[in-house]
Amino acid sequence: MMNTWMTKHVQFVWYGINDEAKLRQFLASDINWGECDVRLNPIDGTPILRHDSFKNTPLDTDENWLNLDTLLTCVAKTDKSIKFDLKAGGVLIEKVMESIDAHGLDDSRLWFNSNVERLQELGFWKLSKKYPNAILQADVDFLVPLICSVPGKAREILDMFTEWGINRFSISRQTQNLRTFFDQMIEWGFKISIYNIHNIPDLESFIQSELLMPHSITSDFDFPAWDCYEKWFGENGSNYEYSEYYQNRSYGQMKHKRARRVSAR
Q: Domain ranges in the chain?
A: 5-264
Q: CA angle at residue 160 from 35 to 85, to 5 degrees?
A: 10
For residue 252, the Cα-to-chain-centroid distance in whole angstroms is 22
The set of residues, in sequence order, having a beta carbon less than 8 Å from that of 208 and lying 6+ positions away, is: none
Per-residue model confidence (pLDDT) at position 232: 40
Give the integer Cα–Cα distance in Å for 92 and 123: 10
Task: Supply the DSSP symbol for 16.
Answer: -
In contact, 170 and 113? CB cutoff 8 Å: yes
The set of residues, in sequence order, having a beta carbon less than 8 Å from that of 162 and lying 6+ positions away, is none
Burial label for 151, CB within 10 Å (0-12, 13-18, 19+), is middle
How confident is the model at residue 113, as a pLDDT?
98
As a dihedral over the C-alpha atoms of residue 35, residue 100, residue 92, residue 111, rounded to 10 degrees, the angle is -40
Asked whether 264 and 238 are in contact (CB, 8 A), the reply is yes
Q: What share of the chain is helix, strand, coil (3-state, %, to 5)?
A: 40, 25, 35
- State the sign of the Cα–Cα–Cα–Cα dihedral 86, 248, 222, 19: negative
| 3-state DSSP assignment of residue 22 | helix
- The CATH code of the domain at 5-264 is 3.20.20.190
Q: Are 28 and 252 in contact (CB under 8 A)?
A: yes
Mean pLDDT by 10 residues, the chain (265 residues): 59 92 91 95 92 83 87 97 97 98 97 97 98 98 96 98 98 90 95 81 59 79 50 45 33 34 35
**The predicted structure's pLDDT at residue 222:** 55
Q: How far apart are CA 43 and CA 259, in angstroms?
A: 33
Q: Tell me how crowded residue 234 is: count the other CB atoms within 10 A of its CB.
A: 20
Q: Give residue 200's pLDDT.
A: 61
Tell me the Cα Rg of the chain: 18
